[in-house]
Each structure stands twice: as structure tokens, then as C-alpha cells.
Amino acid sequence: MTVLLGCIADDFTGATDLANNLVRAGMRVVQTIGVPQEPLAAEVDAVVVALKSRTIAPGEAVAQSLDALRWLQAQGAQQIYFKYCSTFDSTPEGNIGPVTEALMDALDTDLTIATPAFPDNKRTVFKGYLFAGEVLLNESGMQNHPLTPMTDANLVRVLQAQTRRKVGLIDHVAVAQGPAAIGERIAQLRAQGVGIAIVDAVSNDDLLRLGPALAQMPLVTAGSGVAIGLAANFGIAPSSAASALPAASGLGAVVSGSCSLATNRQVQHFIASGRPALAIDPLRIAAGVDVVAEALAWAAPLVESGPVLVYSTAESGAVKSVQGRLGVEEAGAMVERTIAAIARGLVAQGVRQLVVAGGETSGACVQALGIAQLQIGAQIDPGVPWCHAAAEAAGGTGLHIALKSGNFGTDDFFSKAFTVIG
């Protein structure tokens, strides 16, 4: 079993975003939660190791990334892809520069590329400047990000401040001409001693022209956009077979700890369609009521006849009031623990198709269910694929799970998810 493309992603939802793009390009993909202790559980073309290394200390990010690299190499990975955010989220110290440099050293390579361009998501790079939508990165709101404020849109400058390697630019003139011109520009930069080349790309066509020029690079660093041009280098074309998962079986359920606007609409839609739904009250959890046991006793007789929903989802006013009484962090962690315990209980009742709403809530549920690897299937809505967790999760039978972050999905998402899997 040999993996073609081994990916290291610096956060969980970013990893899913990359995995989703690779599947759409025709690759069979597994996403792992952290660096696995065990070998790969399925035969796939690409693996995405999800780290949480975007804002931790650079030394720790480097150590985790090298750990991921060693595991990917042990699985036979032929090319390594370091994935970061399409807004190039980093602090003045890194971690994009330090991690790239460490991976280059470990792979003994003198040149790689760096581009967060993802035109489908309105992230474009021109003359080395990153645009988010219609404006430069530093005018997009990202200049005020609480953890990674981006005050300069010039990626050559931003990256140069984080690395000892010389940073250069493959500009749009070369990219527009195609792989041969890109290759010539790479040779020029290499002769000038450049180690990391920012790449301009303003359209998917640019990314598809870039792909062939990267075929021989041991390391590629990028957002998730560059992925669309890499599968062809391995002789892989888009195919629905890439997203095939084991047949779904068992009962269905939704747990939701997301309070985003879209999730509020999805909960209302599910209730309005006459399906069973139970609200969780954080104040009752705080008062010591065994809300988990209550929810499972409620669900047991209902879940046999169709998907049920257990939710703490509330409008912002109610959330603020709970946070005011319990504290923001404490309320969040308490609700996450409760929902994760309910998810485990539902699986024990025979649920094998589980939808989880909420980014942090998803992390808590995946951890509580002991899920280490997820095979990525077809998307239900953009950015939200059905996934399959191998047998050791869910007591030896496997589990289909969809992890929906905040504002993703149409209003009927909670019912639609079970229709598309059926």
C-alpha cells in the first residue's frame, strides 16, 4: 500500500478542505486526526494529517510537522504537501516559514513553492500580493485577526520575515504561459539562490497550468487550491469512484453545538419538518442535571424510526446570557463535553450515520468517539463531505460521520444529509 501524496495541514477544518479538493480531483483520501500511532487503515492515493499547529510556538510546530513527515514517509508518500490557510495566517515568527524550512531540510530539497491562492474561494495572488475577495489581505479584516493579524499583503515580504531561505516570485507572466515558462522561471530563481517561490494565480486555469511544473518537487506548500492541479501528475483524473465509501447502514442522528446563523436555520427547518428534536439547556447541565442520560432516554424509542436531533443551538441573545452566567470558555467546554457524550451514547444505541454541527463541537465528538482516521467521501454541500471512520470507532462496525462547521450547508442540511447517503 503506497500513498502518492502525503499532506500536513496546520488545522482541522483546513485539512478537510484540502481532502475535499483532492477527492474532487479524483484521489481517494484519508484524513487523520493528529499523527497516527498505527499504519494507514485504508488503501488511498493521498493522506492529510490534521495538526493544530497554526498558532503554537514555531519550535513545537516544526516538531509536530516533522513527526507527521516521518509517518507519511513510512506510508510511502512520494510527494509532500504542507497546507496552510488561504489567508496565509501566520505570526511574525511563523509558522509557515519555519515549518517549510524544516521540511525542506528533512527532504533535502533546495526549492519549493508557496501560494495560498484559491480562486474558488476568492483568494488570488497577483505580483506576489494576496487578495481576499476584491481587496488586499490587509484591508480584508484579517489585519484585525485576534491571533494572526495580517498587516501586509505582500507575501514575498511576509514570508521573507519568517525564513532564512531567500524568497522569490513566479509571477503571472510565467504562470499564464504554462508549465514550460514556469519551469524556466524556477530554473532562473534557483540560479539566484531562491529557496521558496511565491506563485501568482488568479484563476483555476493558473493552478492547472502550475500543476505539471510541480511534478518533480519533493515538497509543495500551499493553501488547498494547488491541490486541484496535482492529481493529474499521478495519472489520476476526476472520478466518482474516489469518493466511494463503504455502504451506509444503521440508524441516523444529528448533534449540534453550533450557534451560527446557518445552523439555527437548519435546526428550525428540521423541527418544522416534523422530525424529533430535543433542546439541551446549558443551565441545567451547570445545575448538575444528568442531561446526557435524559437525552439518551428520549432518543432511544424515537431513533428506531428515523433521524433524531439533539441540539444546544441557540440564538445569540440566549448564548450571551448563558455565557454571562457561566463564562464563555466554561459554557463552551461544558456544552461540548455534553454533546460529545450524547454522540457516544447515540452510537451505542446503534447510530451509524452521525451529523455533527459545529467546528469545536466536531473536534470534541471525534475525540470522544476515538476516531483517528476518516476516509473522505462525496460532499453533501460545499466543504462538508460524508466521511467514514474505520471499524474500531463505533464498537467494531465503523461509522459514517459528517462534520459541519458553522455557516456551511443549506437550510435542509440535517435531512438532506441522510437522503444523499441512502
Is residue 361 close enough to count as binding ligand ADP by CB under 6 A?
yes
The sign of the CA dihedral 174, 178, 181, 182 is positive
Dist CA 343 CA 362 (whole Å): 10
Is residue 44 close enough to count as binding ligand ADP by CB under 6 A?
no
The half-sphere exposure of 115 on its side-chain side, counting CA atoms within 13 A, is 33
Is residue 411 close enough to count as binding ligand ADP by CB under 6 A?
no
Residue type, 43: E
Query: How many chain residues touch ligand ADP (CB under 6 A)?
Result: 21
User: What residue number has its CB nearest to ligand ADP?
Assistant: 358
Dist CA 209 CA 225 (whole Å): 12
Dist CA 58 CA 243 (whole Å): 35
Task: Please identify which residue in 168, 225, 282, 345 interacts with ligand ADP, judged by CB under 6 A.
Answer: 282
Tell me whether residue 259 or residue 399 sits nearer to ligand ADP (CB atom). Answer: 259
Dist CA 103 CA 123 (whole Å): 25
The sign of the CA dihedral 222, 225, 229, 230 is positive
Subset of 303-332 contacting ligand ADP (CB under 6 A) = 312, 314, 319, 322-323, 331-332
Tell me whether residue 120 or residue 360 sits nearer to ligand ADP (CB atom). Answer: 360
Tell me whether residue 81 or residue 408 sits nearer to ligand ADP (CB atom). Answer: 408
Is residue 188 close enough to count as binding ligand ADP by CB under 6 A?
no
User: Minimum CB separation from ligand ADP for residue 139, in Å?
Assistant: 25
The H or E element spanning position 166 is strand 166-170
Per-residue cell: 190: 534557483
User: Minimum CB separation from ligand ADP for residue 87, in Å?
Assistant: 17
Tell me whether residue 163 or residue 405 sits nearer to ligand ADP (CB atom). Answer: 405
In contact, 358 and 314? CB cutoff 8 Å: no
Is residue 335 close enough to count as binding ligand ADP by CB under 6 A?
yes
Phi then psi dihedrals of residue 42, to 5 deg? -140, 160
Is residue 358 close enough to count as binding ligand ADP by CB under 6 A?
yes
Tell me whether residue 101 or residue 336 sits nearer to ligand ADP (CB atom). Answer: 336
Is residue 20 close enough to count as binding ligand ADP by CB under 6 A?
no
Concatenating the DSSP letter of every residue in 136-150 gives: EGGGTTGGG-SSS--
Tell me whether residue 124 or residue 260 sits nearer to ligand ADP (CB atom). Answer: 260
Contact positions toward ligand ADP, by CB under 6 A?
Answer: 257-260, 263, 282, 312, 314, 319, 322-323, 331-332, 335-336, 358-361, 405-406
